[in-house]
Structure 1
Amino acid sequence: MLSTLSRKLVMCLTGLFLCFFLIIHFLGNLQLFLPSEQAHTQFNAYSQFLSGNILIKIVSYVLYASILIHALDALVITLKNRKSGKQYQHDQRQRASKWYSRNMGILGTIILIFLVIHFQNFWYVYKFGSPPIDSNGNKDLYILVVTTFKEWWYVLIYVLSMVALCYHLIHGVHSAVRTLGLFHPKYVKWIKTCGIAYSVIISVGFAMMPIYIYFTQ
């Protein structure tokens, strides 16, 4: 059985891997902002390259495992803390922490639900469905993305989920650095600023993708 400290370390490492993956995923999806014809060709070619690359397949398995382990560890730690009575007085917590740090479970649940919807709409259809084929013979993921992002309710869900992701990342990056013992008082402000900048750029960038497609396609 893993101790709470061990579980926090595992959650920290899986969380940092997911943060790194978000950067790669974000950079790849920036192609959606290209002119539609160019985006159509490049995005599908990029998706085809990823799906046929053995190294990317291995990374994808690590990604799926990291998501599950991260979520399960967070659940176990939360339940253990409640069971052991590690609770603070309400007004003390209000003064000592931000609201999003006290509600990481809710934010994480929103993100997890979003991931299930996201995987079903894109990953599952691309891997096991029958997506259309583009003129170059590649699976037409771009058309699938555009069709999905033309639904206002999905755009709304996506944007709200990115708000939850932003706050989850702000606390998560800060907490991960502390867990790894890298939180030197001399660099507190710098680390906090970088963590917030990363969280905002990633979340706003992702949120702008469905908004851009909804209003331009």
Structure 2
Amino acid sequence: MSEFKQTFNSSLGKKLIMALTGLFLCTFLIVHLGGNLLLFKNDNGFGFNVYANFLTHFPPIEVIAYILYLSILVHALYAIILTVKNRKARPVGYAVAAKSDTSWSSKNMGLLGSILFVFLVIHMSDFWYKYKYTNEVAFKEYRTDLATDQTTVADYTPVSADFNHSVSTENNVEIVRVKDLHARVAHVFGNIWYVLIYVIAMGALSFHLLHGFQSAFRTLGWVHRKYTPIVYGIGAWFFAVIIPLGFALMPVYYFFMHKG
């Protein structure tokens, strides 16, 4: 047990924790982007609101969510510890800086991570916290005719204060009542300052993943002459371009398309 503890207290151990939590967070980004793409569906927020309700009321998903929050905190904490340790190891800079092949994203992972952490606090406060712990998010009622598959939507006011959601069927009509997070998204993304903050954060995410994804594989020793270029390609294009771009398009789309 002491050897296990000693391993994870070492610099290598801390880097391993950073790598593992980082890859877990990369997996989350894929799932989160997939769910958020429902925002582009022209269904009055039905798909997205049902998805949001599922994430916050299905016990196994809630457990994974809390593991995710813990991973974010551990990842950030160990990043700070490693950064401070590296600076203490070389407190005085070189008189003449030698030319380095180190990328800009590698040199500025601390800055990029700090931007992302601040963004996450703002983002979770505006959406997750207000959705789950306040009454600021209203309800919608969706009625779907099961014969024609036509859905109508209306505002809904719960009878009881502890109401969360319901699904029922009456006269061949499915009735779904859920919190309207979609309206909250449209409202927040109508603010140009929030849109700018979101896009800047996604730029930081892009550079953070550009270095972080590849670095995680190197730390874990998963380096191979044949497969490393594939890993670098996935890190550069999928994680550093496609995922941040997909997230950034959401606030921009809502700002211009739902402005009125």
Alignment TM class, shorter chain as reference: over 0.9
Q: Which has the higher strand share?
A: 2
* TM-aligned CA distance change 1:97 to 1:88, over 3 Å: farther
DSSP 3-state at the match of 2:221: coil
How far did 1:87 drift?
Answer: 7.6
Amino acid at match of 2:257: T
DSSP 3-state at the match of 1:138: strand
DSSP 3-state at the match of 2:227: helix
Residues 26-73 of structure 1 show CA distances to partners (whole Å, capped at 9, x for unaligned) of 0000001111xx151111111111211011011011001000000000
How far did 1:95 drift?
Answer: 2.4
Partner of 2:39: 32
Query: Kindly, what percent of the aligned residue pairs are identical?
Result: 46
Partner of 1:58: 63
Partner of 2:19: 12
| Separation in 1, partners of 2:247, 2:34 | 10
Partner of 1:204: 245
In the alignment, structure 1 residue 185 sits paired with structure 2 residue 225: yes
Partner of 1:164: 204
Name the TM-score, length of structure 1 as normaliser. Answer: 0.94
Aligned alpha-carbon RMSD (Å) = 1.5
Partner of residue 49 from structure 2, selected from 27, 44, 50: 44
Q: Is the 8 A contact 1:40 1:142 kept in 2?
A: yes
Partner of residue 103 from structure 2, selected from 86, 95, 98: 98
DSSP 3-state at the match of 1:186: coil
Partner of residue 133 from structure 1, selected from 124, 135, 139: 139
Residues 129-188 of structure 1 show CA distances to partners (whole Å, capped at 9, x for unaligned) of 111011132111000001000000000000000000000001000100100111213333
Amino acid at match of 2:88: K
Partner of 1:71: 76
Q: Is the 8 A contact 1:50 1:56 kept in 2?
A: yes
| Separation in 1, partners of 2:44, 2:200 | 25
Residues 73-125 of structure 1 show CA distances to partners (whole Å, capped at 9, x for unaligned) of 00001111111228874743x52211111000000000000000000000110
Amino acid at match of 2:138: P
Q: Which has the higher helix share?
A: 1
How far did 1:192 drift?
Answer: 1.1
DSSP 3-state at the match of 1:96: coil
How far did 1:190 drift?
Answer: 2.1
| Separation in 1, partners of 2:92, 2:236 | 27
By relative contact order (CA 8 Å, sep 6+), the higher-ranking structure is 1
Count of equivalent residues: 214
* TM-aligned CA distance change 1:32 to 1:76, over 3 Å: same
| Separation in 1, partners of 2:231, 2:49 | 37
Which structure's CA Rg is the greater one? Answer: 2
Q: Is the 8 A contact 2:119 2:198 kept in 1?
A: yes
Amino acid at match of 1:206: F
DSSP 3-state at the match of 2:100: helix
Amino acid at match of 2:67: V
Moved more, 130-139 or 109-118: 130-139
Q: Is the 8 A contact 1:31 1:39 kept in 2?
A: no
5+ residue gaps, structure 1: none
In the alignment, structure 1 residue 154 sits paired with structure 2 residue 194: yes
5+ residue gaps, structure 2: 1-5, 142-175
| Separation in 2, partners of 1:28, 1:71 | 25
